[in-house]
Structures are given as structure tokens and as C-alpha cells.
Structure 1
Amino acid sequence: MPEQKIMGENERKNYLEKIETVIQKGPFKDNWESLQQFEAPKWFHESKFGIFLHWGLYSVPAFNNEWYSRNMYIQGTEEFEHHVKTFGPQKEFGYKDFIPLFKAEAFNPKEWAQIIKGAGAKYVFPVAEHHDGFQMYKSSLSHFNAYEMGPERNLLGELKEACEEEDLCFCTSSHRAEHWFFMCHGKEFDSDIKEPLERGDFYWPSMEEPNHQELTSNPYPTREYLEDWLLRTCEIIDEYRPRLLYFDWWIQHEAFKPYLKKVAAYYYNRGAEWGSKVAICYKHDAFMFGTGIVDVERGKFAEVKPYVWQTDTSIAKNSWCYTDTLEYKTAKDIIYNLVDIISKNGNMLLNVGPKADGSFAEEDKKILEEIGSWLKVNGEAVYGSKIFRKSGEGPTKENEGQFTDNQSMVYTAKDMRFTVKGDSIYAFVLNYPENGEVTITSLAKSKDQNVPEFHGIIKEVSILGSEEVPEWTEDYEGLHVKTHTVHSNYPVVIRVKVA
């Protein structure tokens, strides 16, 4: 692949001026007041389920997790010891030396799109650039990208085309912000990360790792770095037109605030030009509330929210990228989580990590197929649904907050979650009882019509995916449903049609 021309100083300056022009001419300005005109796209709210994809150079060593590029330079870590033992000293074989080993020879974007669609997902979120600084797309800002090096293919562009052919909404994410410090520990000993480092170097800038709890910590990101981050992000927006853009952590640092406003205004104005509502997903209050979609990493809210939100989580408990030591969640646990999330006005973004060669691990495919099979039967209660007056009922309490979803939940036959659509209320019975007897207390006849729990007219009760017509009665204790042939290890959905 011939080397691509990289923007010179004048071209970079012109691009920055173009960004300002788009902001000034469009409906969104780079301030929080203007950005609060934002509304979450209807398609996102209706989609409910998407697939995240962590795939990059870190998939080559496939050891521990996707932070290999940082940890292999920290003396005393498992990654450091593994690297020396497996690949040799870091001064002789550094992280950059994984680039020619990343060949993606089995990457078939059409197959990926079919697997994702088969899982029941409606949108897809490949990582465009991770903390390691290797771009998975053709770029005019750095030579260190998959189009010029490694696979010598525009991986992001190919996947976008294949996914859109399958009617999947194409989105993408940038984790570039953390590259400010991500490779810094290689300067602490004799490795291939050496000063001077300048923009354009793969490891640049490798600054001292800050205190991540301090949002004003030093060393403070420089204007040069922040403008480079802005240009990289806007290049992704312009060249790949994602329907959603996701940012990982550390962009909440004070230094990024003016640039986040510019990116949001630029992106939302571009969306207006395209005639397509777009949105930014963010964590940690990086953006002002109401200017994007709140995201909770590996966790969720315990109660229903009046605003649309998302959780990003992974099919594995211990990594976002492929490794040979993945601890997988079960498809049932993932479905439980999905049901609970949508009952509270949320979406689930489920991550899968393909192998370095571009193939999916068999266990990943198996779990995705199981999820897809369940959604094929019960998707009516999921896609396009809205929240009920309450998210659910039952004795089991949910955990709230980040990094809380690795523990398997044990539900009872009384644990249910609700959605509504059209003329129907859907009750997801999380652990369907063997005797087929279910009571939905939230649909009990009201003794006091002035303060009703439920005061509607039930016309019909059915079970999604079953031909059996259930027996049902209603009284002051609840809606009683009885089946004889319904058995499942997954949540069973009772459809209650009302007048």
C-alpha cells in the first residue's frame, strides 16, 4: 500500500478553521446552552440492543486485556513478564512491532454484519482508535493506521459498508484521549519509547500518567495534543458519518471541555446537514447532562429513568478484547441484563472482541446466536417498546452503578420486568416456574379506583413464542396466568392485551 499524504501545518489550520465555520453556521453552537437543544434519535430509543467491537493491535498478544499496550511497559506486571518471555525485551520488540503481525487475514465484513444482525442487534459500534493510538481506518492525520500498515485495509470503512447493507446503524468510538499518557511507562526503563517524541510518532506524547481522580491533574494536556484530538475526531465524523459517537473515559478532564463542546456542535451540525439525527454517548459527566446520551460502563440504574440511557458491557467478565483466558458470561445472564435495562428506558451495548485474524471465537458466536434466538421470539416486546408506569416487580434487588454486572443474578418466579407497545403490556417473567403458575401483582384489580394500581380492561393474554392459550383470571391479588406446556431457562414474555 503506498504511503498516504499526511496533512501539513497549513492543511491542519484550514481544517480547524472549517470546524469553526461549521459551528458558527449551524444550529448548534459550542456552548452547553445551545447543545441542550439535543434530542436522542428516535431510532436509538427503538433499537434497544447494539454490538460493541474491541479489535486492534492488542488482539495480537491477546493477553489479559486490551490495556496490554500500557501494562507491557510497567515493570513487575504480568504483561511485562509475559512480553519479555514471549516476544523479547521491550527495547527490541515494542508495541509498535505488533503492527506487521496484525494482518486481519480472516476479516470478512459481510460475515461480521450477518453475525451481528443474527444476534438481534440493531446498531454496531467498532472502536475506531483505542488508547494505543493505532487507527483502524484510513487517515490523513497519521501513518499509523490499518490502511497503510498491518492489514493495509480500511477496516472501519469496509465494516461500515457491510453493516449498512444489513440495515444496521453504523456508529463508532474514539478512545484517543487517554493516549496522552497511555504509553508513558516505557520511558522509565530501556525500551523502544524514547524522547524526543513529536506529533506523528506512534508513541507521542507518552506524558506522565496523571491522577485519574483529579479532573484538573497535571501534566495538563497541551493545545497541540487537544487540537490533534479534535482533528482526529472530526475526521472520523466527516469520513465515516457515524450515527452515534462514543467516548471512553478521561475526556472529563478539564482540558478537554472546550474541545468537547466544539466536537458536539460540529457533529450535531453535520448531522443536521446530512438530515440525520446523531448523538454522542459519554460517561462520567464529561458532557453537560442533556447534551448527549448518558452511558454506564458495565452497570446500570436500579430504577427507571425519564431519559434515554445506555450501558456498555462485555460478553466477557475480564476483558474487552479477545484473549485465550476469557471468562464468559452466559447468554441467559446477558438476556436478564438486557430485559432489566430496557424496562428502565435504557439500551444495551454488548461488546465482543474478535481475534487478531478477524475471526470470531466460537464461544462468542454461540452466545450471540443464543441471544438472537431469544430475541427472534421475544423481540416484539423489546424493539420499539416504551416503559410502563413501573419497570418491574419482585423481591430481587438490582445493583446500581458502574462495574456491577459481572455477578450472576438469581431471580424468582415473582421477578418480572415490564414494557409496553401499542395495545399491549409485556411482562417478562425472569424465572418462569415449572408449574406454569404466574401472578402479576402490578395488574391486580384495584379496590380503590381513585388510587388504582391498574384500572384497565384486559382483553387477551398470550405467551410470546407459544401456541398454547393460557388460562387467566384477575382479582385483587393480581393477574393470574396458568400454562401447561411453557418451559424455558430464559425469560418468558406474557403479552397482556388491553382495550
Structure 2
Amino acid sequence: MKKIILLSAYLVLLLMGCTSQKIKTELPKTTHKYTADWESLQKYKVPEWYKDLKFGIYFHWGPYTVPAYMNEWYSRWMYVDGHPINKYHKKTYGSLDAFGYKDFIPMFKAEKFNADAWADLFVNAGAQFAGPIAEHTDGFAMWDSKLTTWDAKDKGPKIDVVGAMEKAIKTRGLKFITTYHRHWLYAWYPTWDKNTDAYTSNFSGLYGPKVPKGTFVMANKPTNPLPDNDFNKEWLNRLTELTTKYDPDIVWFDNKMDIIDEDYRKQFLANFYNQGLKNNKEVVVTYKFKDLAVGSAVLDLERSRMSEKKDFTWLTDDSIDWKSWSNVQNPNYKTSNRLVDFLVDVVSKNGAVLLNITPTSEGEIPAEVKERLLQMGAWLKVNGEAIYGTRTWDIYGEGPAEVVEGHLSEHKNKDNTEKDIRFTTKDDVLYATVLDWPKDKVVIKSLSNKKQKIKQIQLLGSTEDISWEQTAMGLVIQPLKNKVGNYAFVYKIEFY
């Protein structure tokens, strides 16, 4: 029996070593103890291990996946009179005083959830970091909290989702990320409206404090009145519980965090960075817009990307579904080709991709989502050396494609073609990734014979000899006879 157990353990370790993109954790390079002021916090240095990360996966999953209608903001729009979600809710579930958002929680059973199976999928997709949304805008915590009973351990699935995913993800050698959106909860629900269940004080632990009508505004408008001290304290206390209990490597924040008093934001950063020092590990925090001071954390974009290479490390979060962050009845999934090209483009500009996927309320990852993740993983097995641990080159790329920048702008960017080339470097090697199969010769203008002389060129995944010539006009690579793969194609270029 002991031999069987030892053999099984050996096989698990062997499999992990072959499939996961394990990230080395370096010891902190600073003993600087952080204080809750921007001068101290802006001394933060992005860890080298984080600069090596290029691809991560997270997921929007909670009670809002029970109705699975339109998008993850169901919990907000169901209370807005006249909104399509409001009309759907009343027709399907009844009036808002009789059936409110709280009533979806017992229906959120997650009976098919398997943290190990999900983590294995993330590994096979080629992810280097992964994790759950710990609390979305709806105020329902996905961890075992002592600060509220409105959590996934006490209600709904009766599962500590964050804890289960932490164990599964860290066991496989990936970095662990958690996300936090609680600041959106302030005025999210109509706690002023007597015609809804959100007005009832018995449910304030989920729906939040009483606020005047009209308090909720979008992130680009000023909130008035701002949250009081009690809300700020609860925001920090729940966040502190989350980060101390599950020790994430990366904490990701959604936008609109600027409504939280600045002192509380600074205090969290100081606490978390000092926690990292105490645990002898380097940690990362991300933010959007101006929610934290520049240099105190890593900038994150949403459904968008940079148009040019940046000299700082950045992140973008994007969803596998064009129209929603959560599972919905009629999804519109992006193609694997689009997802791979997006990853290559972002990495060439000093960024990384955090891809959102969309589990069902039962705890299944849709077959179409699995298919795309595994196709990305297959591409990365062949071409990952041009992505993982790379750095930017002199320029990010060549080609006619122009990127439209801006929040939620990704739908404005067209698919790439074989004329678009992106560059990354590692260990004195240049990787030139052509974003579609070249039907004719490839010309890289930046590699004319006036530049460094080329020693050899290889197309990753191919055994064919490459016919090429370095001219005054650029590097000319003749087309190959046999196509390899289905998406972006990587030329590995070595110099004398």
C-alpha cells in the first residue's frame, strides 16, 4: 500500500513538472518597511518574478450566474426600473420585494465545482497565475469569512471557494491571485427603495448601508455622499481578512476604489507589502485609473491594451466572452486566434494578460471555454519561449494594425493579419511573431543588414530549413511549404 501511495505521489509531481509554468519566487530585494504614505509606498519595486508572468486566468463566479442573463451586473440592473434585466427578472422571478438578489444565493449550489480540475485546466492552458474573484460588486464573499455570514461557506454552495482554489493553484506551482470589488457595493443596491427587499434592514449585511436615492454613479462621475467611516473600515477589514488568511501573491482591484478614503487605501498597501516582507516573499497589487499613486502598484487596464511599448510593467484583464464577464445564456466567445494574437501583442508592449473565464452556476466550465483554453495551451507548449520570461525589444513590432486605446475599447480593434509582426527577447534571442500564416515572404524592416548580423533562424514547431536573406531593405524570409499550427507563428532569430 505504501509503495502505491509513493508511486502515485511521484507521478503527480512528475506531471506537474511537465505541464505547469512554475514561477521562481525570489527573496525580497528590499528590507524597506512600508508606512501608509505615498512617499514610502512609491518606493515599491515590481518583482522580477512578476515581470516574467505573461498569462493568467481568473473567473467571475457567484450568485449572478444563476439567472445567467445578459451580464454579471444582473444584481444591479434587476433593481433599475425599465432595464431589460429588470423586465426579465420580474417576468421570470416576480416582484423585487418578494424575490430579490438574496434569493438567488440558495440556488447557487455549485454542485459540480472541482477546484483541482479547474486548476489542472489552467495549467494545461499555459497559465502562470490564477485565482478567483473573492468578492464581486454584489457583496457576496466567496471565502469563509468571520466578518459576515453572506459568504459562500455559510450560504449557497457551502464551500470556501477562495480556500479551495488557493490550495489547488499553489499546489501546482502557479502564483495565486485574488480580486476585490467591494467598493462597488456602496449604493449598488436601492437600499432607499421600500418596494424592494434591499430596503429591509435584516439584509443589510448583503445589500450594504442605507443611502439616498441617486447616490450610485458610474466610475467616471463623483459619488455624493461618499462612504462613511464604517463602510471604509469594513472594506479594509474584509480585505485584510482575505489577504492574511489566503496569502495571495497578487491582489487585483477593480476600478472605483477612489471612493474609499485615501488613508484606508494607503493602509492596505502598507499592510500587504509588509506582510510580504514578513513572509519573506515579494507581492504585487494592481489598480486602475488613479485609484492608487503611480509607482505604488501595477497599472491594470480593462478590455483594452496599449498602442505602444511601455517602459513599465502593466496588466490587462480581458474576458473570453465579448459581451459578459460571467456565464450567460447566449455567450459570444472570442476565437482562439484572437486570444493568442491579443496575448502576443500585449506581451510585446511590456504587458501581461489576465483572462477571465465564465463557469456556470453549477460549477462547470463550458466546453467552448475549455476548448479555447486548451488551444491556447497547445500553442504555448510550442511557442511559449517567445512569451514566458521575455522582455521587450527596441520596438514592439511592425505592420499596419493600429490599436485603439481606452477603457473597454477592445471591440474597436480588428483581428491581426500576416502583415503584423510582434517582437520579444530573451537571452540574446529575438522572437519575431507573425500574427497569421505568411502566404508570401516575410519582410522585417527592422532587421536590415545595417543592423546586427543574423546567425540562424528557426520557425518554432517546424523542422524545415528556413531560407532567408538580410538585405538593405530588411530581413526577407521565404515562405515554408508546410504550415505548422493554426495561430501566430514564431521565428526564433539568433545573432552572431
Counterpart check, 1:405 vs 2:401? no
Residue number in structure 2 paired with 1:246: 252
Deviations 1:55-105 (A, max 9, x none): 001011111111111111111111111111111211111111111111110
Name the counterpart of 1:219.
Answer: 225
Greater Cα offset, 392-401 or 358-367: 392-401
Matching residue of 1:165: 171
Check if 1:126 corresponds to 2:123.
Answer: no
Residue by residue over 1:417-445, the C-alpha shift from the partner in whole angstroms, topping out at 9 and shown as x without a partner, is 0000113100011122224x111111112
Q: 2:443 aligns with which of 439, 444, 455?
A: 439
Deviation of 1:44 (Å): 1.8
Q: Distance in 1 between matches of 2:51 and 2:417?
A: 29
Tell me which amino acid in the other structure corresponds to 1:222: D
The structure-2 alpha-carbon separation of the partners of 1:467 and 1:112, relative to structure 1 and needing over 3 Å to count, comes to same
Alignment of 1:412-431 (within 5 A): 412-431=417-436
CA distance in 2, matches of 1:399, 1:204: 37
Say which is worse superposed, 133-142 or 487-496, in terms of deviation: 487-496
Aligned equivalent of 2:41, options 10, 35, 38: 35
| Matching residue's letter, 2:286 | C
Q: 1:342, 1:382 within 8 Å by CA — same for their partners in 2? A: yes
Quick one: which of 372, 376, 382 aligns to 2:381?
376
Counterpart in 2 of 1:19? none
CA distance in 2 between counterparts of 1:272 and 1:466 reads 45
Task: Say if 2:490 is the partner of 1:493.
Answer: yes
The reply to whether residue 297 of structure 1 matches residue 302 of structure 2 is yes
Deviation string, structure 1 residues 352-394 (Cα, Å, up to 9, x no partner): 0110011101111111111111111100100000000100011
C-alpha distance 213-384 of structure 1, shift in aligned 2 (>3 A): closer
Cα pair 1:460 1:497 within 8 Å, conserved? yes
Paired with 2:351 and 2:219, the residues of 1 have a C-alpha distance of: 27
1:203 to 200, 207, 225: 207
Q: Is the 8 A contact 1:182 1:206 kept in 2?
A: no
The answer to whether 1:109 aligns with 2:105 is no
Please show how residues 276-315 of structure 1 align to structure 2 within 5 Å: 276-315=281-320
CA offsets per residue over residues 465-485 of structure 1, 9 Å max, x none?
Answer: 111111111110111112423
Do structure 1's residue 66 and structure 2's residue 62 form an aligned pair?
Answer: no
Aligned partner of 1:417: which letter?
R
CA distance in 1 between partners of 2:286 and 2:482 (Å)? 39
Encode CA deviations 1:293-343: one digit per residue, 9 max, x unaligned.
000100011110000000001001111010111111111111111111000
Which of 454, 457, 468 does residue 472 from structure 1 map onto?
468
Structure 1 CA distance, aligned partners of 2:221 and 2:274? Answer: 28
State how 1:134-153 maps to structure 2 within 5 Å: 134-153=140-159
Do the aligned partners of residues 369 and 408 (structure 1) sit closer, same or farther apart at CA in structure 2, a change above 3 Å counting?
farther
Residues 206 and 317 of structure 1: is their aligned pair in 2 closer, same or farther, counting only changes over 3 Å? farther
C-alpha distance in structure 1 between counterparts of 2:412 and 2:375, whole Å: 20
Kindly indicate whether the alpha-carbon contact (under 8 Å) linking 1:179 and 1:206 is maintained by their aligned counterparts in 2.
no
- More displaced, 29-38 or 425-434? 425-434
Instruction: For residue 398 of structure 1, give the secondary structure of its aligned residue in structure 2.
Output: coil
What is the identity, as a one-letter code, of the residue corresponding to 1:356?
S
Q: Secondary structure at the match of 2:470?
A: strand
Following TM superposition, by how much is the alpha carbon of 1:201 offset from its aligned partner in structure 2, in angstroms?
A: 2.3
Where do residues 214-363 of structure 1 align in structure 2 (5 Å cutoff)? 216-253=222-259, 255-363=260-368
- Secondary structure of the 1:294 match is strand
Deviation at 1:350, TM superposition (A): 0.5
Question: Is the 2:321–2:334 contact (alpha carbons within 8 Å) kept by the matching residues of 1?
Answer: yes
Match of 1:11 in 2: none
Residue pair 2:286, 2:300 contacting (<8 A) in 1 also? yes
Asked whether the equivalents of residues 65 and 323 of structure 1 are also in contact (C-alpha less than 8 Å), the reply is: yes
CA RMSD of aligned residues (A): 1.7
Tell me how far apart the structure 2 counterparts of residues 297 and 214 of structure 1 sit (CA, whole Å).
14
Work out whether residues 64 and 75 of structure 2, in 8 Å CA contact, stay in contact via their aligned partners in 1: yes
Larger deviation, residues 186-195 vs 340-349: 186-195
- Asked whether 1:86 is paired with 2:92, we answer yes
Q: Are residue 395 (structure 1) and residue 400 (structure 2) matched? A: yes
**Please, which of 100, 104, 107 is the counterpart of residue 106 of structure 2?**
100
Provide the secondary structure at the position in 2 that maps to 1:264. Answer: helix
Conserved 8 A contact 1:46-1:385? yes
Displacement of 1:197 = 6.6
Aligned to 1:481: 477
8 A Cα contact 1:128 1:136, kept in partner: yes
Q: Aligned in 2, Cα 1:90/1:215: closer, same or farther, shift over 3 Å?
A: closer
Give the match for residue 15 of structure 1. none
Contact 2:323-2:332 at 8 Å conserved across structures: yes
- Greater displacement, 482-491 / 54-63: 482-491
Q: Percent identity?
A: 37
Q: How far apart, in 1, do the equivalents of 2:287 and 2:317 lie?
A: 10
From 186, 207, 216, the counterpart of 1:180: 186
Distance in 2 between the 1:336 and 1:426 partners? 14
**For 2:217 and 2:95, how far apart are their aligned partners in 1?**
28
Following TM superposition, by how much is the alpha carbon of 1:187 offset from its aligned partner in structure 2, in angstroms?
A: 3.7
1:205 and 1:249 map into 2 onto residues whose CA distance is: 20
TM-score computed with the length of structure 2 as normaliser: 0.90
Distance 1:414 1:50, change over 3 A: same
Provide the residue aligned with 1:5 in structure 2.
Answer: none
Give how far 1:395 is off: 1.7
Q: Distance in 2 between matches of 1:256 and 1:377?
A: 47
Number of residue pairs the alignment of both structures matches: 463
1:29 deviation in Å? 0.5
Deviation at 1:132, TM superposition (A): 0.6
Secondary structure in structure 1 of the residue aligned to 2:411: coil
Distance 1:218 1:197 in 2: 25
The structure-2 alpha-carbon separation of the partners of 1:215 and 1:71, relative to structure 1 and needing over 3 Å to count, comes to closer
